[in-house]
């Protein structure tokens, strides 16, 4: 079956520009997550959606970062006025359910590699 | 600070041998653990998970062991194959954090022929 799909796979943009990254979760998965992975590093949590609501935004590094989810499906992560330190791979994951007691594995897409010049 | 970490950054194993990748976690409240495999240019791929009420769980060629006393997690891969070469991450879900995963820094497994 189809996994988590992310687009674009690569994005190169100039410092100061805005970027939008898209995530299509696995069909039927109610929970959606965004993570960031810097070169050679582990994954850093950004935000968690349950349905269209984001009960945990604690990982967003600054107010330049925002995300939304519509129809309980597709999510977009927007970075405004990009900076060079925003360069990283942005990964999206989904799980069947979310919440503290769900203990469901998260399934990842292949990410968007973002490079800020 | 609290973290999930790995003892060895790189592990080299001969094809056919068993591999053991270790992970230490610091939060005794963590109740769910996952191992992921990440190949170059790909997203993390789910391997196996374990809940804190278990000590051991087996999958196909993989076994995860959880020692809550010393807060240690390990992934054992039987009969390691070249296709197992990748970076392996452990991740924990800390109780009360709405399924947010905290990842370790990763161990690179190199399989030699």
Contact B36, B91 (CB under 8 A): yes
Work out the mean pLDDT of chain A and round it to a whole number: 93
CB nearest to A105's CB, from B34, B43, B98: B34
Residue B67, Cβ neighbours under 10 Å: how many?
12
Enumerate the residues of chain A whose CB falls inside 8 A of the CB of residue B36.
Answer: 108
By the 10 Å C-beta count (0-12 exposed, 13-18 middle, 19+ buried), B92 is classed as: buried
Give the confidence band of A100 by pLDDT, cuts at 50, 70, 90: low
**Least confident segment among B35-39, B69-73, B95-99:** B95-99
The reply to whether B103 touches chain A by the CB within 8 Å rule is yes
**R_g over Cα of chain A:** 13
Do A100 and B97 make contact, defined as CB atoms within 8 angstroms? yes
Taking 50 as the threshold, does the pLDDT of residue B7 lie above it? no
Q: Which two tokens stand for residue A66?
A: 């925002």
Partner-chain contact A110 B43, CB within 8 Å = yes
Asked which of A53-67, B75-89, B98-112 is least confident by mean pLDDT, the reply is B98-112
Closest by alpha carbon to A46, among A65, A31, A64, A29? Answer: A65
């Amino acid at each position: 079956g189809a996994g988590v799909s992310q687009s674009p796979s690569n994005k190169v943009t100039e410092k100061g520009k805005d970027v939008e990254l898209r995530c299509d979760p696995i069909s039927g998965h109610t929970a959606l997550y965004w993570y960031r992975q810097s070169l050679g590093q582990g994954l850093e949590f950004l935000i968690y959606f349950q349905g269209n609501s984001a009960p945990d935004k604690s990982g967003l590094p600054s107010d330049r970062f925002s995300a939304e989810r519509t129809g309980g499906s597709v999510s977009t992560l927007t970075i405004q006025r990009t900076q060079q330190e925003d360069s990283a791979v942005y990964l999206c994951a989904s799980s069947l359910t979310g919440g503290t007691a769900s203990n469901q594995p998260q399934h990842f897409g292949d990410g968007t590699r973002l490079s800020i010049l | 600070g609290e973290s999930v970490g790995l003892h060895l950054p790189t592990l080299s194993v001969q094809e056919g041998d068993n591999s053991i990748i270790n992970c230490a976690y610091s939060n005794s409240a963590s109740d769910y653990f996952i191992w992921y495999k990440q190949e170059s240019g790909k997203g993390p791929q789910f391997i196996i998970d374990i809940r804190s009420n278990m000590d051991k769980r087996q999958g196909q060629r993989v076994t995860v062991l959880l020692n809550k006393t010393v807060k240690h997690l390990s992934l054992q891969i039987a009969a390691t194959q070249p296709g197992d070469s990748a970076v392996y991450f452990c991740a924990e879900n800390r109780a009360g954090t709405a399924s947010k995963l905290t990842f370790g820094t990763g161990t690179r497994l190199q399989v030699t022929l």
